[in-house]
Amino acid sequence: MKLIRNGRKLTGGDWMVKVKERGRAKFRPSPDYDIDEVRKILNKKIQEEKLSIEKGVNDEIVDEVVLDREKANIVSLFSGAGGLDFGVELAGLDYVFGKSKVDNYLKDKELFDSIRDKGVFHHSYAIDNFKEALETYKMNFSDDVFLHRTDIKKVKRFPAGDLVLGGFPCPGFSEAGPRLVDDPRNFLYIHFIRCLIETKPKFFIAENVKGMLTLGKGEVFRQIKQDFEASGYKVYHKLVNARDYGVPQLRERVFLVGVREDIDFEYRFPEPTHGDSLFLEPYVTLRDAIGDLESDPGDYFTGSYSSIFMSRNRKKSWDEQSFTIQASGRQAPIHPGGMPMKKIGRDKWIFPDGEHNNRRLSVKEIARIQTFPDWYKFSRGENERISLNGQLNKVYKQIGNAVPVELARAIAQPIAEWFFRRKVDNS
């Protein structure tokens, strides 16, 4: 193998040095690598990952996946509770029935079930290693979807699909975490790319936290985007705030949308639908979202508040949007009722009206804030020996990790329209 760099032929030994210098496990990309070089390095990394797959894993499981040849089939990676998937499904229904009609049906599960098989998309496969999240997915989606509970690193073959979805894990990217460049969990996106290379779907949608843009002075994100491009896709990205799309929450997330290179389509992120402008709908407030639940909130996480929790304001007013919903009951924002929190010193806040007059948002309230319909069910697990807080925390984790449904719905609209138009044109 011979490669050209800066007018000089590279030998095999040079190539290995380059791979080592680039250090994919250390996020040190070189901007002067062309796409073919990146593709070779990426394929090498994928082959390494494949070698780590345990022997004896059933690689025929994808043969059990049911595809709908009349619809766009969705393959869901790191599916979680299905927030991204459900939002995409709604986008596909919007082009068949109109958004206002879908919204009316959405209020009642029985009514919604009567139309959901008439949409653009078909959920065919979902994989996650979080038992309760996959149980939640099963409770809210069609029986046709194949649910695969396993570590994605153990999947030998991925099923074919038209659209791949997934918010790959991001503990090392998060601004709330240690932001470890070498956190091995940050490399799970490689398996997302492996799925793209193996199955070549028409589109993909990936979501992650804002912190991935700045980790390693931006080099981490540049490498990740470069890797997705090397898998054969035109990649579009944007940092969006969920509140700009009707979500009652300050939640900034990065979306990467991929369009296969051979498809003549330019993806454009949707313009905000909500804001302070006269031309937009007003922001949805906490009062709008959960005001009717004040006297009947349902179960919520209880217990004292740590010094870290009390180091900053955790409470928004009724007329504001919620803080970001975390994947933890203990870290859930405080309900907006009562007096605002008061700062009494550096990194120190208190409840002026007393801790007993303040509580964390309930699971029902945070589900509303994440724009799940009230009928959407969440699994608490089957172990009754776990405390109520422990059971609830499984739900908080699922909801907090999810993409807000209405945000996913907005992001998916251009893709849903493409599939809808294509079906209409071919009819």
Q: Which residues are catalytic?
A: 170
Query: Which helix (H) or strand (E) covers residue 415, if one does?
Result: helix 405-426
- For residue 143, which phi and psi values (nearest 5 degrees)? -70, -15
Contact indicator for 407, 242 with CB cutoff of 8 Å: yes
Cα separation, 326 vs 318, in Å, equals 19
Count the neighbouring beta carbons within 10 Å of the beta carbon of residue 180: 13
- For residue 402, which phi and psi values (nearest 5 degrees)? -75, 155
Cα separation, 128 vs 135, in Å, equals 10
Cα separation, 286 vs 371, in Å, equals 12
End-to-end CA distance of the chain: 48
Cα separation, 102 vs 90, in Å, equals 8
The residue ranges of DSSP E strands in 55-150, in sequence order, are: 72-77, 121-128, 146-149
Nearest to 338 by CA among 372, 294, 375, 306: 294
- For residue 311, which phi and psi values (nearest 5 degrees)? -80, -10
Cα separation, 293 vs 291, in Å, equals 5
Q: What angle do CA 305, 291, 407 make, to 5 degrees?
A: 85
Cα separation, 121 vs 95, in Å, equals 11
**Secondary structure (3-state) at 240:** strand
Cα separation, 364 vs 325, in Å, equals 12
Cα separation, 72 vs 60, in Å, equals 22
Cα separation, 130 vs 122, in Å, equals 22
Cα separation, 199 vs 22, in Å, equals 27
Strands 348-350 and 342-345, bridge-based pairing: antiparallel
Q: How many CA atoms, within 13 angstroms, populate the side-chain half-sphere of residue 416?
A: 27
Nearest to 406 by CA among 370, 353, 355, 365: 370
Structure token digits, residue 243: 């509140």
